[in-house]
């Protein structure tokens, strides 16, 4: 039952497209909040509007009484508000109208990456945003021909939970799941009971909470989106401690490139035809002047190699055509 609930949240309620559309609609309502009082059929104050928006963004605080009050105010905002903004000709609603047009026409930011967050310090949006900004800055330095603007990204984090979020002890969380469920026996079908600990299955998850981080890119260019996805891939591989080498088919780190994380007997399979410069980001790598690791080879440590001479080649040196990670 708990796993089914988790699956529904993962695949539907907290789906990446669902969440970004909710965010865009919320931004549109915030942009139109000064005019919403004129569009709504009921008389509400600016403070009411702010509370409604906070409710949409799931940021209502102050306990159940305040949440209930905010919900009663929120339901006054019916679907007609969306239509009124969408078809309005008021210049004051231009920004809000454009945001809703993007939703209707599916001009949505693209999710360039999603990852499970295992580090506690990264499980909120602000800290993940800071880490991603650092990664973008470093990626721009790695690739001199690419510039990704941090303002073009939207960061989102979601929490998927099996049990009560107030339970702090991880060891007790899985057991706490079952303690909150009432069971009924055939001989007494009207009285709910908690089952005994020895009746609880040992097939309970060790962890009952996980965090997911998502990075959205707002640009529409396919090439820029590819750069953003590559940046995300490099960032997560680095966080996982994977050995990497970044190879280019032109000197001075220009031209086509490929981020390689394992043995590549033929560069044709790595979306590049030759290596004329490279950056060893982590680990030790061998470059070969022929496919399938033919001699001669050059062993490279973590460093930047602007041309074939930088790794020991001569004027007559052929471009590297295969790459192999050194494991010993």
My answer on whether 1 and 103 are in the same domain is yes
Residue 257 has a pLDDT of: 92
Residue 207 has a pLDDT of: 72
Which tokens sit at 169? Answer: 């002890």
My answer on whether 91 and 4 are in the same domain is yes
My answer on whether 189 and 253 are in the same domain is no
My answer on whether 250 and 308 are in the same domain is yes
Coil/strand/helix, residue 34: helix
Contact call for residues 321 and 288 (beta carbons, < 8 A): yes
My answer on whether 184 and 254 are in the same domain is no
My answer on whether 305 and 259 are in the same domain is yes
Which tokens sit at 134? Answer: 């650092």
Last residue of a domain, one of 207, 231, 260: 207
My answer on whether 198 and 259 are in the same domain is no
The single residue listed with the structure tokens 């919320």 is 26
Could you tell me the pTM of the whole model? 0.76
In the β-sheet with 244-250, what is the strand arrangement from edge to edge?
254-260, 244-250, 277-282, 304-305
If phi > 0 it is left, if psi is from -120 to 50 it is alpha, else beta; for residue 190 that is alpha
Between 26-40, 53-67, 197-211, 252-266, the lowest mean confidence (pLDDT) is in 53-67
Residue 313 has a pLDDT of: 84
Last residue of a domain, one of 108, 142, 174: 108
pLDDT band, very low/low/confident/very high, at 151 (cuts 50, 70, 90)? very high
Question: Does the residue 304 lie in any domain?
Answer: yes
Question: Does the residue 134 lie in any domain?
Answer: no
My answer on whether 249 and 315 are in the same domain is yes
Contact call for residues 16 and 214 (beta carbons, < 8 A): yes
d(CA 219, CA 134): 20
Question: Does the residue 140 lie in any domain?
Answer: no
d(CA 69, CA 296): 75
Question: Does the residue 231 lie in any domain?
Answer: no
For residue 146, is pLDDT > 80? yes
d(CA 47, CA 258): 53
- Exposed, middle or buried: residue 27 (CB in 10 Å: 0-12, 13-18, 19+)? middle
Question: Does the residue 131 lie in any domain?
Answer: no
Give residue-wise pLDDT tens across range 287-300: 998 888 887 789 99
* CATH number for 305: 2.60.20.10
d(CA 270, CA 250): 15
Last residue of a domain, one of 83, 108, 133: 108
My answer on whether 248 and 195 are in the same domain is no
Q: How many residues does the chain have?
A: 328
d(CA 258, CA 261): 10
My answer on whether 15 and 99 are in the same domain is yes
Residue 173: which domain range?
163-207
d(CA 298, CA 319): 11
List of E strands, the chain:
110-117, 153-161, 183-185, 188-193, 209-217, 244-250, 254-260, 277-282, 284-290, 294-300, 304-305, 322-326
My answer on whether 103 and 47 are in the same domain is yes
Question: Does the residue 220 lie in any domain?
Answer: no
H or E segment at 85? helix 80-86
pLDDT band, very low/low/confident/very high, at 42 (cuts 50, 70, 90)? very low
Between 80-84, 235-239, 263-267, the lowest mean confidence (pLDDT) is in 80-84
Question: Does the residue 235 lie in any domain?
Answer: no
Which tokens sit at 318? Answer: 């052929």
Cis bond before residue 49 (omega within 30° of 0): no
Count how many domains the chain has.
3
Mean pLDDT taken over the chain: 83
Number of helical (H) and strand (E) elements in the chain, helices listed first: 10, 12
Where is pLDDT greater, at 117 or 227?
227
My answer on whether 195 and 246 are in the same domain is no
Those residues whose C-beta lies under 8 Å from the C-beta of residue 47, and which sit 6 or more positions away, are: none
Contact call for residues 234 and 182 (beta carbons, < 8 A): no
């Amino acid at each position: 039952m708990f796993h089914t609930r988790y699956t529904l949240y993962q695949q539907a309620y907290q789906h990446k497209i669902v969440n970004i559309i909710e965010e865009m609609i919320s931004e549109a309502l915030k942009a139109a909040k000064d005019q919403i009082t004129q569009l709504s059929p009921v008389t509400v104050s600016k403070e009411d509007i702010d509370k409604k928006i906070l409710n949409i963004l799931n940021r209502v605080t102050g306990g159940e009484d305040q949440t209930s009050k905010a919900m009663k105010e929120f339901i006054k905002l019916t679907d007609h508000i969306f239509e009124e903004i969408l078809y309005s000709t008021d210049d004051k609603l231009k920004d809000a109208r454009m945001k809703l047009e993007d939703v209707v026409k599916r001009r949505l930011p693209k999710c360039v990456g999603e990852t499970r967050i295992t580090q506690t310090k990264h499980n909120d949006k602000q800290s993940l945003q800071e880490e991603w900004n650092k990664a973008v800055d470093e990626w721009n330095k790695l690739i001199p021909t690419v510039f990704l603007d941090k303002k073009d990204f939207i960061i989102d984090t979601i929490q998927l939970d099996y049990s009560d979020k107030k339970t702090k002890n991880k060891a007790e969380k899985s057991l706490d799941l079952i303690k909150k469920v009432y069971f009924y026996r055939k001989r007494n079908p009207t009285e709910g009971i908690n089952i005994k600990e020895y009746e609880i299955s040992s097939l309970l998850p060790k962890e009952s909470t996980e965090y997911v981080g998502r990075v959205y890119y707002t640009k529409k260019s396919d090439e820029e989106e590819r750069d953003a996805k590559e940046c995300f891939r490099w960032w997560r591989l680095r966080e996982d401690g994977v050995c990497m080498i970044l190879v280019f088919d032109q000197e001075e780190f220009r031209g086509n490139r490929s981020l390689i994380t394992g043995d590549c007997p033929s560069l044709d399979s790595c979306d590049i035809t030759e290596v004329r410069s490279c950056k060893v980001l982590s680990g030790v790598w061998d470059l070969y002047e022929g496919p399938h690791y033919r001699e001669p080879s050059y062993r490279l440590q973590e460093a930047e190699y602007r041309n074939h001479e930088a790794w020991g080649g001569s004027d007559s040196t052929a471009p590297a055509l295969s790459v192999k990670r050194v494991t010993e």
